[in-house]
Structure 1
Amino acid sequence: MEKILEVKDLHISFHTFSGEVQAIRGVNFDLHKGETLAIVGESGSGKSVTSKAIMHLLPESNSEIKQGQILFEGKDLAKLSDKAMQKIRGKDISMIFQDPMTSLNPTMKVGRQIIEPIMKHQKLSKGAAKKRAIEILDLVGIPNPEVRFEQYPHQFSGGMRQRVVIAIALACNPKVLIADEPTTALDVTIQAQILELMKALQKKIDTSIIFITHDLGVVANVADRVAVMYGGKIVEVGTVDEVFYNPQHPYTWGLISSMPTLDTEDEELYAIPGTPPDLLHPPKGDAFAPRNRYAMKIDLEKQPPMFKVSDTHYAATWLLHPEAPKVEPPEAVQKRKRQFLGLKEGN
């Protein structure tokens, strides 16, 4: 499958009054043409920082890409000037942000906000751009698009505002769409509608999607592959089936165990003990070791490499070393695996 985006050995730091925060510590992943790659993990794991680095949206005042490459169509985006990136951002790579109310300009009609990237990147006349904008509003499921084109963001519901944000991101038919927790600010019913919309749109416009979320339930419905992030690193990557039905990293076990299900009682809900690492002082070994009940001595001393599970499945845990003791996933993971399989067979 053709690669459209490659992130290689990416290291990003933030310079603060307290010192250097090593937010991203050697991230590697590929995005293939036409696929949806989900990046999951707790808050602070580095998901959004990685996506903003791709878009050149990190603050210049205190952030630094210390090493690594972000390759898109032969160009290293990490080395491009902001002026050069302006020709790519919004045209070839677009982003949907978490909160539609802060993504939209409250003083501008939504039609004008959709027209701007079309006129900038596709060099269309105002009339042609308006026609295209109305078509996109209709495409994302906004009724009466001609009327809605002339309205302001406050005249839309939360779900409809997020559809407008998606319309802006899709205005120029981008090759890569980055969705940074696009359903977090919405209620569950609207979340489902937006997820279905994104799946349908991907087929129509043939774009590749990076879907950032902390919700593994969302991942199961939208992604082809999953990359699990923790402490500024990717600790497991594989197809959706591999990560859900055969997870290898103890952190992935924790994420799956903490997913509520329809028959979960309040007292049964699992929480990963401890807190994420302090990246002002990154740990010497595996960042998850202090929270990992299966941690061995080597976990505290040396970072594990990515061990190969299959051609598409890799995990960074010493438990996969040939000399490591055999450890079975917790019962909660086994239980959810049975539930996932049951749901899959039911579909």
Structure 2
Amino acid sequence: MEKILDVKNLQINFATFAGQVQAIRDVSFHLNKGETLAIVGESGSGKSVTVRSIMGLLANNAHIVGGEIDFKDQDILSMTDRQIENLRGNDISMIFQDPMTSLDPTMPIGKQVAEPLLIHGQMNKAAAMARAEEVLELVGITNAKNRMKDYPHQFSGGQRQRVVIAMAIVNYPEILIADEPTTALDVTIQAQIIDLMKDLQRKIDTSIIFITHDLGVVAGIADRVAVMYAGKIVEYGTVDEIFYDPKHPYTWGLLNSMPTLDTHSEKLYAIPGTPPNLLDPPDGDAFAPRNPYALAIDHEAMPPFFKVTNTHYAATWLLHPDAPSIEPPAAIQQRQQLYRDLIASGQIGTFPQKETDKNVSN
């Protein structure tokens, strides 16, 4: 498959009064044309910082200290501010988490959706407004022609998120970044937004990077998954491999934390402990203090990526040939069987089965 985005050895620090926070530590991944890559992890793992660097939207105290971000063989990090502005919202667009803060409360939504077209000079005002109406209809806004004059407060939360998606796709971008776009929505609306994004991907032929902390959402939209922890990717593979053959104990913890209709306990599982202080990252595996399966070497040396299949790699010493054999927790295996049963019964959709590249990361 054609590679459209390639992030290589990205390193990002944040300058604080306490010192340099190493927020992103040698992150590499790529995105293929037409696919959906999900980046998953707890809050603070570095997901949003990673994708904001692609858009040139980092905070003033953030500094990229190493790496490359290649979009169609052009290094975004070497572009001028003007070149990045031309790229942003045109070739690469972003859907943000909270639709209410993403919309201007003083401007009708029709003008807001048309604005990217006018900023990039692609159309005159009349043509831009016509495209805005067309895209609002595409994202499922009923009676879009009349609602173009309405303001954000006149829409429900799910409708506002549809408007934000319309703003992001109005230029038919080649890459669409969705930063936890369903977090503020109830479960029913979440499902509608996920279905909408999958439908739009087919219609406008775009590639998607989907950021989430919810592995349940990933099952319905992703082709491949990258799991992040403490500023690093610790496991990546196809969505089937991550759900049915996870190898990193952190991935086990995320899967075990997912509530299901089959959950009978009053208390949900939570990964014990807290993430490390990235002012002074540990020498070994950052997850080791929270990992009940940690080996002595986990506290001494950072594990490399071990190959599981041509598409599946995990950075855990448990995959070393000399490591003891440890099976995933029983709860994980039960959850995997539950998902198989749900898919077999048609209660949830099957995972995407698109062909993927052999190499996900460098």
TM-score band w.r.t. shorter chain: over 0.9
**Aligned twin of 1:196:** 195
**Aligned twin of 2:142:** 143
**Aligned twin of 1:155:** 154
Q: What is the deviation of 1:91? A: 0.3
**Aligned twin of 1:243:** 242
SS of 2:87's partner is coil
**Aligned twin of 2:207:** 208
Q: 1:107 to 1:268 in 2, by over 3 A?
A: closer
Kindly report the root-mean-square deviation, in angstroms, between the aligned alpha carbons of the 2 structures. 0.9
Aligned equivalents of 2:311, 2:331: Cα separation in 1: 25
**Aligned twin of 2:351:** none
**Aligned twin of 1:25:** 25
TM-score scaled to structure 1, two decimals? 0.98
**Aligned twin of 2:84:** 85
**Aligned twin of 1:232:** 231
Q: What is the deviation of 1:122? A: 4.8
Is 1:180 matched up with 2:148? no
| Equivalent residues in 2 for 1:166-177, closer than 5 Å | 166-177=165-176
**Aligned twin of 2:122:** 123
Aligned equivalents of 1:155, 1:82: Cα separation in 2: 36
Q: How many residues align?
A: 346
**Aligned twin of 1:41:** 41
SS of 2:49's partner is helix
Aligned equivalents of 1:176, 1:122: Cα separation in 2: 20
Structure 2 unaligned blocks of 5 or more: 347-362
Q: What is the deviation of 1:168? A: 0.2
SS of 1:266's partner is coil
User: What is the one-letter code of the residue matched to 1:194?
Assistant: I
User: What is the one-letter code of the residue matched to 2:224?
Assistant: R
**1:146-177 residue CA offsets vs partner (Å, 9 max, x unmatched):** 11111111111111000000000001000000
Aligned equivalents of 2:83, 2:265: Cα separation in 1: 52
TM-score scaled to structure 2, two decimals? 0.94
Aligned equivalents of 1:62, 1:131: Cα separation in 2: 40
Aligned equivalents of 1:141, 1:266: Cα separation in 2: 38
Report the identity percentage. 66
SS of 1:142's partner is coil
User: What is the one-letter code of the residue matched to 1:199?
Assistant: K
User: What is the one-letter code of the residue matched to 1:233?
Assistant: K
SS of 2:263's partner is coil
Aligned equivalents of 1:212, 1:309: Cα separation in 2: 24
**Aligned twin of 1:105:** 104
**Aligned twin of 1:132:** 131
User: What is the one-letter code of the residue matched to 1:309?
Assistant: V
Q: What is the deviation of 1:92? A: 0.3
**Aligned twin of 1:62:** 61
**Aligned twin of 1:6:** 6
Structure 1 unaligned blocks of 5 or more: none
SS of 1:87's partner is helix
Aligned equivalents of 1:14, 1:79: Cα separation in 2: 20
Aligned equivalents of 1:340, 1:188: Cα separation in 2: 18
Aligned equivalents of 2:62, 2:217: Cα separation in 1: 30
Aligned equivalents of 2:343, 2:98: Cα separation in 1: 31
Decide whether the 8 Å contact of 1:122 with 1:172 is kept in 2.
no
Decide whether the 8 Å contact of 1:275 with 1:291 is kept in 2.
yes
Runs of 4+ in 1 over 6 A off after TM superposition: none
